[in-house]
Structure 1
Amino acid sequence: MVMDGDVPYLPQEIFANILIRLPVKSLIRFQCVCKDWKNLFKTPSFIAEHARHSTQQDSVLLFKSPRYKCKPACLCLINRDMQVLEYQTPSVHSCTIGSSNGLLCLLHVWSFILWNPATREVFQVPKAPNINRNVIFYVGFGFSPVVNDYKIVTISLSRLYGDGVYLVHVFSVSTRSWKEVEGGKLKGILAFVTRGFSFDGAIFWFGTGLKGQGRSLLSFDIATESFKLIPIPSSVHVTFESRLTKYENKLALLSKTRVESTKSFFISLWVMGKCMDTSGERCIWTKIYTSNPFPDMKLSSALTIWRNEIVIVGVTEGKTVLVSCNLHTNEVKMWTIGNYSLETFFWNYAESLVSVGDIHIEASSS
């Protein structure tokens, strides 16, 4: 610390090191302290450092509440203290299709919205060409540090060109425009979980072959705008209730298998290891967990990994609860979270200063 007369002085870099650890709400309030701080909070380097620090902490968990006829849709954040915070979405009847670097992508009918809940910024994405004439099978949102860009992907079955013709449209946030890209890898593949999971610069969907080829992962590289099919071994049980997630910085798959002659389920966690070739056709999957941790509970399809625990929404004694199971100790915890629907999705979320008006994250990961 330097003394300027009787007034202590801290170097700017020390202030910056303190500020990157503060929540977005505080930083927005501190913009009025001085012009230098306001400008600092808008620099790509500060935004990136703040995002990295936010991600390293225990991420809050985001999921969607039901659409009551008398209530608008809302998003609920569960912080590390297990407090539930509600945010009303910009569009009343929208659904969340992706989360990346503190940004959410919402879909309402045929329109997409980018939204930063922490800063409350909203960007209405231009309507995709001919999207209302097609049947959408896949939709996804993600970020690539390679091209420093966020992209929205829609994969639809064309009603204009006959059966089996897929059209792929990609919206680039950096160019603010849609374009059609080649979808040759899609021939003969159908989706059965339409919302993509963004991880490591790519978007992943579950798919199934039309001629009994089995389950696969369809991967879209955000930087190169190319597709890849990754076979899923037959030993990995994949259903409509399976979910992709991240475990120890690797792509992972959670599946539910009903225990025979009962209403309870085994939950298994599979992790995809290193692929033996660039095509993705020879990837190693390892099962690292299987158990029946919630034997007496009605479980939803909302399933994820959070803080090295399996987290799921369930119902017990007529109450909607959030339950978790520690992967190492098998310890089960339960929290009553209110009257929420079982038909919901989890999204990992960490707040950020990323602006939907001028998006720039500077080599942060999704």
Structure 2
Amino acid sequence: MEKNSNLPQELLEYNILIRLPYKSLVCFKCVCKHWHALFNDPIFLSHHLSNFIKNHNTCHNLLLRLSFPTIFGDGWDNYKLFLLSATDDNYSPVQTLMPKFNMLSTKFQICGHCNGILCLSTEYWSRSKEILLYNPATREFRCLPDSNMRLRPSSIALSVGMGYDLVTDDYKVMRIWRGDMYLFRTNCVEEYSLSTDAWTMLNNTNAGHFIFDADAFAMFFKRTYYWWAFSREDRSSVILALNMEDEVFQRVPLPQNIDISERDGRSLVVWNDSISLICCTCDGLATSIDIWVMDGSGAEGSWTRKRSIKDLTHEPKPLVFWKGNELLMEMSCGKIKSYDVDDGKIEDVVIKGIPNWHSSQAVNYAASAVSLKGGDYLI
């Protein structure tokens, strides 16, 4: 102990403490005044974040958005967040506190997540669609300001996506507006920057060439947003890539003879640090799933089929890869199944207190100390 207490301060802080998970930092704030100040220091937190990003693939906790019946039993409109630890073999979820939307809506979407930060929005089409950023670990949240664009009364906020710009160390939110509800005349795209707390319109995105749905945002990966859309030219279903640098939508080549028009039968996720496209095909009474992996990224990528799952009796909704090589799927019967890519086994996932899942979303999650720069805190 005597020897350990004489460790050089820089070695202790930037080679040992920097590797601790965020929850440990919170506990160790009480050790001494110096550590309390250190764990609030922007420089230390910046190094902690860099280490977090470097090793984020080693954490496989799951953050779930699940829906429950309303009080009157007329629908599954009561949405809640739960955290599920990968080390908990009993699958005992812990409910996560949620900030309140101004319109008191209980329906929301997870519109992206980066470095422990969630982007949440109310789950309906409207001009007043609310968006907020939330760090469940620190309980800090920030409601995004209204758009400063001049929009038609019929304009609708279609889809929202979130990303992290490593070059500028800034969190950004992309929002697509449909300019005319009935004529599909114009799509407007604007970007929110956490560093400036303001929206900026992107003028040269060529978004008008495509038709977007309410849940068009698919994922963010390596400074590129990915979206589901329809081409105005041939009405085909496409995947679009929007890079933070050029800010122009580009079509991502698809595997041959692949249909991505069914919303619940498609998913774009990260698997082993690569983009994976999961597609479901229904043939009579049985359903099959193909898992494709992209070599490269964006419009320059190409696809290789890695796995196929045959003869599923219920239609699946692919959710996320968990614990490395386990694909979670929400079945049409309300149950969750796990497919192990390594051995091909399919097993039921039974979570305590939640017999069935409905309208679920799932993301890999690790707690972080990222600040939302002046946000509010849940008590």
Decide: shared fold, TM above 0.5.
yes
What displacement does 1:255 show?
1.0
CA distance in 1, matches of 2:21, 2:310: 37
Which deviates the most, 102-111 or 30-39? 30-39
1:126-275 superposed matches below 5 A: 126-129=145-148, 133-159=154-180, 163-192=184-213, 193-212=215-234, 214-238=236-260, 239-241=262-264, 242-258=266-282, 260-262=283-285, 264-274=286-296
What displacement does 1:244 show?
0.5
SS of structure 2 residue aligned to 1:66: strand
SS of structure 2 residue aligned to 1:89: coil
CA distance in 2, matches of 1:81, 1:269: 26
CA distance in 2, matches of 1:75, 1:185: 35
CA contact (8 A) 2:205 2:248 kept: no
Give 1:330's aligned amino acid: G
Give 2:272's aligned amino acid: E
CA contact (8 A) 1:269 1:287 kept: yes
CA distance in 2, matches of 1:231, 1:190: 18
Aligned to 2:321: 305
SS of structure 1 residue aligned to 2:156: strand
Aligned to 2:125: none
CA distance in 2, matches of 1:356, 1:182: 27
Q: Which of 296, 303, 310 in structure 2 is aligned with 1:292?
A: 310
CA contact (8 A) 2:97 2:136 kept: no
Output one character per residue of 1:79-104: Cα deviation in whole Å (capped at 9) or x when no partner. 21243222132125232211111000
Q: Could you say if the C-alpha distance between residues 125 and 257 of structure 1 is closer, same or farther in structure 2, counting changes exceeding 3 Å?
A: same
Aligned to 1:64: 65
What displacement does 1:208 show?
1.8
Normalised to the residue count of structure 2, the TM-score between the two structures is 0.81
What displacement does 1:265 show?
1.7
CA distance in 2, matches of 1:34, 1:158: 56
What displacement does 1:299 show?
4.5
Aligned to 1:362: none
CA contact (8 A) 2:175 2:191 kept: yes
SS of structure 2 residue aligned to 1:80: coil
Q: Could you say if the C-alpha distance between residues 187 and 15 of structure 1 is closer, same or farther in structure 2, counting changes exceeding 3 Å?
A: closer
Output one character per residue of 1:170-217: Cα deviation in whole Å (capped at 9) or x when no partner. 101111110111244223312344233111111101122134253322
SS of structure 2 residue aligned to 1:65: strand
CA distance in 2, matches of 1:85, 1:233: 39
1:118-129 superposed matches below 5 A: 118-129=137-148
Aligned to 2:360: 344
CA contact (8 A) 2:335 2:357 kept: no
CA distance in 2, matches of 1:8, 1:101: 32
What displacement does 1:261 show?
2.0
CA contact (8 A) 1:144 1:202 kept: no
CA distance in 2, matches of 1:348, 1:133: 36
Output one character per residue of 1:335-362: Cα deviation in whole Å (capped at 9) or x when no partner. 2121443322222222111111269xxx
Give 1:267's aligned amino acid: I
Q: Which runs of 5+ in 2 are unaligned?
A: 72-76, 123-127
CA distance in 1, matches of 2:287, 2:19: 41
Q: Could you say if the C-alpha distance between residues 133 and 100 of structure 1 is closer, same or farther in structure 2, counting changes exceeding 3 Å?
A: farther
What displacement does 1:311 show?
1.1
Q: Which runs of 5+ in 1 are unaligned?
A: 360-366
CA contact (8 A) 1:256 1:265 kept: yes
Across the aligned residues of Structure 1 and Structure 2, the Cα RMSD in angstroms comes to: 2.8
Aligned to 1:74: 80
Give 1:128's aligned amino acid: S
What displacement does 1:148 show?
1.5
Give 1:344's aligned amino acid: S
Runs of 4+ in 1 over 6 A off after TM superposition: none
Which deviates the most, 42-51 or 320-329? 42-51
CA distance in 1, matches of 2:50, 2:83: 22
CA distance in 2, matches of 1:19, 1:353: 13
Q: Could you say if the C-alpha distance between residues 126 and 168 of structure 1 is closer, same or farther in structure 2, counting changes exceeding 3 Å?
A: same
CA contact (8 A) 1:20 1:53 kept: no
Aligned to 1:39: 37
Which deviates the most, 183-192 or 195-204? 183-192
The alignment-based identity, stated in percent, is 24
Give 2:23's aligned amino acid: K
Q: Which of 124, 133, 151 in structure 2 is aligned with 1:114?
A: 133
User: Whose strand fraction is larger, Structure 1's or Structure 2's?
Assistant: 1
Q: Which of 335, 348, 353 in structure 1 is aligned with 2:349?
A: 335
SS of structure 1 residue aligned to 2:263: coil
What is the number of residues matched between the two proteins?
345
Q: Could you say if the C-alpha distance between residues 230 and 8 of structure 1 is closer, same or farther in structure 2, counting changes exceeding 3 Å?
A: closer
CA distance in 2, matches of 1:81, 1:160: 47
